[in-house]
Structure 1
Amino acid sequence: MENNTEIISENKPSNDLAFQDYLSIGYVFLLILGVFHETIYYKFLGVNILEYSSILDVLISPIAVMLGNLLLGTAVLVVIIFGYIYLKLIPRYHKWLGTKKKYQEGKNKMKLERANEMFKNKNASLLVITLFVFALFTGLGIGRGVKTKERIDKGDVNLSHTITFEDGQKQKVKLLGKNSLYIFYVTTGVEEVSIAPIEGNIKLIQKLPKEPLTN
């Protein structure tokens, strides 16, 4: 009977997630955020980006978003590093506080005990970090979309690229974004966003040199 009990106990699944599980969950989370960020940004431009995206575009969306936006990529990296340090060092700091006479009795002791209980639940701390990253992706998506839309409406468009089409025609445009299938751009004097397929249509996309500053 005792042996059966031990076997059942050993086979009982653990509630703790392995490091690989956290990586998988983290990637899925970033995948959702990448798609969400792009959807918000293009929505302000009047484009449903999901209609123009391939499966590959969706899968690499978190990487594309973070590499395409230095501020966002840096912020996400900082949040992850800060979150790791936060979860590792703060409990040690609380343990050090517990050796102080001030935190060994009264209200201060109760506050410290509540804080320690909170940090024992890592999922709660991870949830806070998750919400922060979500707010970051969402906020920057809205900010990009609103700012770009305002510039288009005002005609304040700085041409950034030259598109060479397969028929040899060239056009200077403000490139708003691109994926594996399409490019999205506006031209001077046109408020509507143009969407052009890449395959069989566009031969070359060149970045225009920046105009020198004049005194």
Structure 2
Amino acid sequence: METTKIETTKQSVTKYSIQDYMSIGYLFLLVLGVANQAIFYGLLGVNIFEYTSVLDVLLSPLAVISSHWLMPVILAVLIPLMIGYFKLLQWYYVKLSRKEKYQSGKKKEKLDKVLKSLNKKYAVIPFILMMLICMFLGFGLGGGYKSKEKLETQKYNYTHQIVYEDGEAKDVKILGKNSLYVFYATQDNKDVQISPIEGNIKVIKKLPSKDKKELIEN
């Protein structure tokens, strides 16, 4: 009787609900989002934690994904492909195990181990997690190095115009933005400029691209 109670308790402890998995997944993405921001701004010589609110930290995964149009596209394509690949592997090894030469001996033992690992309910999850780690850290490193190089060489186009509360307007290259500050570059200055938004900036306007600008002028 006692043994049955202990086993039931163990099962209830180890069994997680969908909400638990969602919470763990969000915490995982939260760590990746913060790491991405820290790497990106760190390469630009900015300690982002000095300019970040709690809300910015909580929304960092969404901010990272939405700031790179390529990331949601890659996720939407690679995750289904990865799941499909695992299904294909399962089918292949099941078919292989039915062949006569794999019915006994060490070959059968190896196939049984492979099938056991592939048949696990969440076998694909570690690979998806590894893909997310590579993407978040890769985009942070790549974006940081690219922006740093442009700052040093001054080879970039203005993307936005900032209009301050006092009426001053400035054309800038926006490098990043959160709920409190905007980070930007200006010509003849190799350092990142940081301006608070509240009580300082009135409007941030997106400038037309170079091609559109030429069409307007003509």
TM-score range, shorter chain: 0.7 to 0.9
Once the two structures are superposed, residues 18-55 of structure 1 have per-residue CA deviations (whole angstroms, 9 ceiling, x without a partner) of: 32222111111111101101110111111111110101
Cα offset for 1:78?
A: 3.4
| Amino acid paired to 1:10 | T
Contact map agreement 1:79 1:133 (CA 8 A) in 2? no
Once the two structures are superposed, residues 147-191 of structure 1 have per-residue CA deviations (whole angstroms, 9 ceiling, x without a partner) of: 111111111021000000000000000000100000000111111
Matches within 5 A, 1:83-162: 83-88=82-87, 90-105=89-104, 108-120=107-119, 125-162=124-161
Cα offset for 1:76?
A: 3.0
Residue in 2 aligned with 1:17? 16
TM-score, length of structure 2 as denominator length: 0.86
3-state SS of paired residue (2:11): coil
The reply on whether 1:178 has 2:174 as its aligned counterpart is: no
Contact map agreement 2:83 2:124 (CA 8 A) in 1? no
Are the structure 2 counterparts of residues 19 and 100 from structure 1 closer, same or farther at C-alpha, using a change threshold of 3 Å? Answer: farther
Cα offset for 1:135?
A: 1.5
Return the alpha-carbon distance in structure 2 between the equivalents of residues 69 and 17 of structure 1: 33
Contact map agreement 1:37 1:138 (CA 8 A) in 2? yes
Cα offset for 1:6?
A: 4.1
The reply on whether 1:202 has 2:186 as its aligned counterpart is: no
3-state SS of paired residue (2:210): coil
Once the two structures are superposed, residues 42-81 of structure 1 have per-residue CA deviations (whole angstroms, 9 ceiling, x without a partner) of: 1111111111010110111101110110122222343433
Once the two structures are superposed, residues 105-131 of structure 1 have per-residue CA deviations (whole angstroms, 9 ceiling, x without a partner) of: 455434322312322555664333322
3-state SS of paired residue (1:157): coil
Return the alpha-carbon distance in structure 2 between the equivalents of residues 89 and 149 of structure 1: 43
Instruction: Flag structure 1 segments of 5+ consecutive residues without an equivalent.
Output: none
3-state SS of paired residue (1:12): helix
Instruction: Flag structure 2 segments of 5+ consecutive residues without an equivalent.
Output: none
Once the two structures are overlaid, the 10-residue window that deviates more, 78-87 or 34-43, is: 78-87
TM-score, length of structure 1 as denominator length: 0.87
The reply on whether 1:38 has 2:42 as its aligned counterpart is: no
Contact map agreement 1:52 1:182 (CA 8 A) in 2? yes
3-state SS of paired residue (1:180): coil
Identity of aligned residues (%): 44
Are the structure 2 counterparts of residues 159 and 46 from structure 1 closer, same or farther at C-alpha, using a change threshold of 3 Å? Answer: same
3-state SS of paired residue (1:212): helix
| Amino acid paired to 2:25 | G
Q: CA RMSD in A?
A: 2.4
Once the two structures are superposed, residues 86-115 of structure 1 have per-residue CA deviations (whole angstroms, 9 ceiling, x without a partner) of: 455533443233223343245543432231
3-state SS of paired residue (1:46): coil
Once the two structures are overlaid, the 10-residue window that deviates more, 128-137 or 8-17, is: 8-17
